[in-house]
C-alpha cells in the first residue's frame, strides 16, 4: 500500500524516517541531515539503527534546506520507497484550533503560518518543509501532527495564564509541547499494562525537556506552557524564569529582544550554567564544579516541578523516563529518584543501571519505568490513519 515519509524539520537539522504503511509503522530507513547552513551531513540508518550510508555537502551555500530536502526525497523514492503515499510532519504548534492531526492544504497552511510567532524557532522551519514538498510533489498528501494536540483536553485551569482576559482571548495561554512523544508513551503504557489508568508523570528529557502529568492516558498538566521555553532546565533553554528577569535584561542590560531570545533559547540551560556543554554526556563525564552545578539544578527542577504536577494529579502511581537523557542516563534517573524519595518512590539501582523496563524496587509506592519514545512512529501512525490505511501500530 506504499510508504510514508515522516519529517521533523528544524533550523539546522532535518530528521526523517520512512515507514511501510501496511502494516503501519514497519520502519524501513531513518536518519538525519545535520548542520544545514554550515556543512550539511546526512546519516542514513536501517530499521535496527545501524548506519548504512553517510554523505557530506562541503559547499554549504549551494545546499539549502530546500535543495537538501528535494535531494533526500529523490533518494528515498529511488532506494527505499516503491510508492510514497504521504508525508507526515512534526509541527510544533497547532494553536487552539488544531487539536488532532490534519491534512494540509493552502488554507490550513496559512492558519499554521499565523502561529509562527508562538513558536518562533520551530514553526517556520516545519512549514518550510511542507512548502518544499508541495512544490516538488504537488499531489502528495501531507499530514501535520502537532506537539500541542495531546494537551488539548487539559482542564481549563491548567491552560490559563494570569494575564488580562484580552490577552488570553488573543491566544496567550499555556499550550504544552512534546505531545507526539507523550501520546506514544501513553499508548505504550496501555500496551504494557492493560489495567493502566493511574496517575503518571512522564519525563521527556532530551535537548528539550518537559514533564507531563497524565491520568487515564490523558494529559492533565505539563511543564511547558505558552512557549517551549517554560518548565525544566534544558540543553540550551532556561526553563521557568521569573518574567521580571526578562524585563531586567531589556531595561537594565539594554538588550534588544532578538538578543534576549537568543540568550534564553540558545545560551542558557545546561550550557549556560555549566559554561561547558549542553550535552548531558559531557557534563556527567566532567569533574568541573560548574558541570556538577548544572546537573544539580537540572535534577532539582525535575523533582520540584514533578512535585507540583503531583498536586495537579492528586497523587502519583507511576513515573516514566524517556528521550535521550531519560532513556540513557541512569545517574540522572537515580538522582531524580532520590529527590522524590519522600513519595515512597524507590529505585532499584541494579535494574536502573541495566536500563530495565521497570527500575523501581518491588517495595516502591510508585512504579518507575524507562520507555523509549518514538515520535516518528506516532507520526507515521497518524499519517496512515488520515490517508485511510492504518491497520495496526505494529512494532518493528
Q: Which of 206, 225, 269, 337 binds ligand ADP (CB under 6 A)?
A: 206
User: Is residue 232 a contact partner of residue 209, using CB atoms and an 8 Å limit?
Assistant: yes
Binding flag, residue 281, ligand ADP (CB under 6 A): yes
Largest Cα span, the chain: 61
Q: Which of 55, 64, 128, 207 binds ligand ADP (CB under 6 A)?
A: 207
Binding flag, residue 328, ligand ADP (CB under 6 A): yes
CB of 330 to ligand ADP, least distance (A): 8
User: Is residue 203 a contact partner of residue 302, using CB atoms and an 8 Å limit?
Assistant: yes
Which residue's C-beta sits nearest to ligand ADP? 324
* Burial of 283 per CB tally in 10 Å (0-12, 13-18, 19+): buried
Q: Binding segment for ligand ADP among 25-33, 168-176, 193-201, 202-210 (CB under 6 A)?
A: 202-210
E runs forming strands in the chain: 3-9, 14-20, 26-34, 41-46, 51-56, 84-91, 102-103, 142-146, 199-205, 209-215, 218-222, 318-322, 367-370
Binding flag, residue 319, ligand ADP (CB under 6 A): no
CB of 327 to ligand ADP, least distance (A): 8
Residue number with CB closer to ligand ADP (224 or 387): 224
Grid coordinates 504544552 are at which residue?
176
* Burial of 268 per CB tally in 10 Å (0-12, 13-18, 19+): buried
Q: Binding segment for ligand ADP among 82-90, 129-137, 203-211, 363-371 (CB under 6 A)?
A: 203-211
CB of 158 to ligand ADP, least distance (A): 23
* Interactions with ligand ADP, residue window 8-27 (CB under 6 A): none
Binding flag, residue 338, ligand ADP (CB under 6 A): no
Active site residue 285: no
Instruction: Kindly report whether the peptide bond that precedes residue 23 is cis, defined as omega within 30 degrees of 0.
Output: yes
Question: What is the binding site for ligand ADP (CB under 6 A)?
Answer: 206-208, 235, 279-281, 284, 323-325, 328-329
Amino acid at each position: 500500500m506504499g510508504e510514508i515519509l515522516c519529517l521533523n524539520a528544524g533550523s539546522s537539522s532535518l530528521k526523517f524516517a520512512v515507514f511501510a504503511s501496511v502494516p503501519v509503522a514497519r520502519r524501513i530507513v531513518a536518519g538525519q541531515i545535520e548542520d544545514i547552513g554550515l556543512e550539511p551531513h546526512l546519516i542514513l540508518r536501517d530499521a535496527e539503527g545501524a548506519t548504512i550510508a553517510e554523505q557530506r555537502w562541503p559547499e554549504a551555500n549551494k545546499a539549502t534546506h530546500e535543495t537538501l530536502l528535494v535531494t533526500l526525497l529523490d533518494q528515498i523514492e529511488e532506494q527505499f520507497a516503491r510508492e510514497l503515499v504521504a508525508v507526515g510532519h512534526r509541527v510544533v504548534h497547532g494553536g487552539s484550533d488544531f487539536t488532532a492531526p490534519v491534512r494540509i492544504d493552502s488554507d490550513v497552511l496559512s492558519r499554521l503560518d499565523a502561529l509562527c510567532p508562538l513558536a518562533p524557532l520551530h514553526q517556520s522551519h516545519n512549514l518550510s518543509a511542507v512548502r518544499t514538498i508541495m512544490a516538488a510533489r504537488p499531489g502528495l498528501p501531507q499530514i501535520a501532527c502537532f506537539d500541542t494536540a495531546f494537551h488539548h483536553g487539559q482542564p481549563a485551569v491548567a491552560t490559563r495564564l494570569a494575564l488580562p482576559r484580552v490577552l488570553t482571548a488573543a491566544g496567550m495561554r499555556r499550550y504544552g509541547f512534546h505531545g507526539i512523544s507523550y501520546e506514544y508513551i501513553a499508548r505504550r503504557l496501555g500496551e504494557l499494562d492493560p489495567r493502566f489508568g493511574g496517575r503518571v508523570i512522564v519525563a521527556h528529557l532530551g535537548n528539550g525537556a518537559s514533564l507531563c502529568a497524565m491520568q487515564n492516558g490523558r494529559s492533565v498538566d505539563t511543564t511547558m506552557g505558552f512557549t517551549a521555553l517554560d518548565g525544566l532546565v534544558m540543553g540550551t533553554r532556561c526553563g521557568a524564569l521569573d518574567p521580571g528577569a526578562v524585563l531586567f535584561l531589556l531595561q537594565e542590560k539594554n538588550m534588544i529582544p532578538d538578543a534576549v531570545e537568543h540568550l534564553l533559547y540558545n545560551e542558557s540551560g545546561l550550557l549556560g550554567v555549566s559554561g561547558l556543554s549542553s550535552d548531558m554526556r559531557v557534563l556527567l563525564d566532567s569533574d568541573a564544579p560548574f558541570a556538577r552545578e548544572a546537573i544539580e539544578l537540572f535534577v532539582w527542577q525535575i523533582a520540584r516541578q514533578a512535585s507540583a504536577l503531583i498536586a495537579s494529579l492528586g497523587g502519583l502511581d507511576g513515573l516514566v523516563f524517556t528521550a535521550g537523557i531519560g532513556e540513557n542516563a541512569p545517574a540522572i534517573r537515580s538522582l531524580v529518584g532520590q529527590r522524590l524519595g519522600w513519595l515512597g518512590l524507590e529505585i532499584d539501582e541494579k535494574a536502573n543501571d541495566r536500563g530495565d523496563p521497570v527500575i523501581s524496587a518491588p517495595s516502591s509506592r510508585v512504579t518507575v519505568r524507562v520507555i523509549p519514545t518514538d515520535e516518528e512512529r506516532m507520526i507515521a501512525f497518524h499519517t496512515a490513519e488520515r490517508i485511510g490505511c492504518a491497520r495496526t501500530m505494529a512494532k518493528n
